[in-house]
Amino acid sequence: MTTRTAAGHRLFRTTGTLGFALGLALSHPVLAQGPEERGASVHEGPMGLFDAQAFPVQARVLASRRDIEFEGPQEPIFRADRAEHVANGVALRDRTRGFIHSRGVPPGSQVIRSYLFWNYSDGVREAPGVASVLFDGNLVVGSKTADNTDPCWGKAGNHSFVADVTAFTTQAGGPNQDYEVVVVFDGKTSTLGQNPWAPQLLSDVLLEGATLVVVYRNRATHGQLYLFAPPGDNMFYGSAIYMLPSPGIGRALFTAFGADGQRGAGHDNDPLASNEITLVNASQVAGPAVAASDWDGSDGWPLPQLWDTHTHVVEIREQVSRVEYNSAGGDCLVPVGFVLDLQ
């Protein structure tokens, strides 16, 4: 089983495979299509099961998943010209529903695409290629983007999904709304809403969280935008390096979201559990002593934590941008998605 320190933060150890399956697979993904764009290009890359030809990227794993480095640039799953974005998330541990408070799209903007990402751990190493959720009362089916090592909760695997929810973010009143996300697992996940660490109740399915990325355009937007969903196994507990193709050179917004960040083991502040440093193109944007960590579970403060969505202003200087995470505390983490948005 998973080893834990007295302070309660998770240290990675090998866990056995559990013998139960999720059983949410549908026959094929149904991705909602958004409105047509005018005067600008939009490109959607491969979404779904890992494809070695579509994603010619291999993870170089050092010291039994302590450190990972993806060799070669990631391929965006979506690109748009003259576009910007907002990203907001919600933590979902020990419940199956929550609200994403989407904010920040300027009045009069056109929504180009909206994507919902979510992540969970369960008893299978490889999840089905599709999974369903309710988004704002609408059934949507997402495509799997990654099967990851479980972030040290004693499960067999961890899984990331994405669904196009554009059709449900273009309603009257604009996209700045509160969207309910419901992930149903037939009673296999806890709905007690408890502190995940006290007591530690491990249900069959452990939900992590969900993030909504809304891409928009208006008269003031002029840069390119790339959206990434890294394939392969992304779990790490020491350092992780990603090489992302740059949408251009200059000032940009960088958004990252992912699973299992925490401040401590509940209401405490453990400097070892939330000391991760984020560097973008060798410049530190988060972590001591610049700012709070990007892995502090802030989408679920004060509890249950375990999900993060953060956006930073960065400078892009090269055709490929280097994103690096460094941690000395041994917290197990899973990056789920990135956005680079040239301003």
| Rounded (10°) CA dihedral 40, 216, 162, 1 | 130
Amino acid found at 25: A
- 342, pLDDT greater than 80: yes
> Could you read off the pLDDT of 160-177 as tens digits, one per residue?
999 999 999 998 888 999
Mean pLDDT (whole number) for 205-218: 97
The whole-angstrom separation of Cα 117 and Cα 338 is: 11
- Per-residue pLDDT, 62: 47
Tokens of 337: 């998605």
Would you call the peptide bond into 63 cis, given omega within 30 degrees of 0 as the criterion?
A: no
- Per-residue pLDDT, 65: 64
In contact, 264 and 6? CB cutoff 8 Å:
no
- 24, pLDDT greater than 80: no
The whole-angstrom separation of Cα 269 and Cα 297 is: 12
Angle 307-342-262 (CA atoms, 0-180°, nearest 5)?
Answer: 15
- 326, pLDDT greater than 80: yes
91 or 42, which is more confident? Answer: 91
Tokens of 201: 């109740």
Of the chain, the percentage scoring pLDDT greater than 70 comes to: 81
Q: Cα–Cα distances in Å, from 115 out to 142, 194, 259?
A: 10, 29, 17
Tokens of 78: 């979506």
Q: What is the 3-state secondary structure (H, E, C) of the chain?
A: CCEECCCCCEECCCCCCCCCCCCCCCCCCCCCCCCCCCCCCEEECCCCCCCCCCCCCEEEEECCCCEEEEECCCCCCEEECCCEEEEEEEECCCCCEEEEECCCCCCCCEEEEEEEEEEEEECCCCCCCEEEEEECCEEEEEEEEEEECCCCCCCCEEEEEEEECHHHCCCCCCCCCEEEEECCCCCCECCCCCCCCCCCCCCCEEEEEEEEEEEEECCCCCCCEEEECCCCCCCECCEEEEEEECCCCEEEEEEEEEECCCCCCCCCCCCCCCCCEEEECCEEEECCCCCCCCCCCHHHCCCCCCEEEEEEEEEECCCEEEEEEECCCCCCEEEEEEEEEEC
Rounded to two decimals, what is the model's pTM?
0.84
Tokens of 31: 């991705």
C-alpha 195: how far from chain center: 22
- 273, pLDDT greater than 90: no
> Could you read off the pLDDT of 50-97 as tens digits, one per residue?
233 333 344 445 445 678 888 778 899 999 999 999 999 999 999 999
pLDDT range class, residue 325, cuts 50, 70, 90? very high
184 or 203, which is more confident? Answer: 203
In contact, 12 and 152? CB cutoff 8 Å:
yes
Of 65-79, 146-160, 279-293, least confident by mean pLDDT is 65-79
Mean pLDDT (whole number) for 211-221: 97
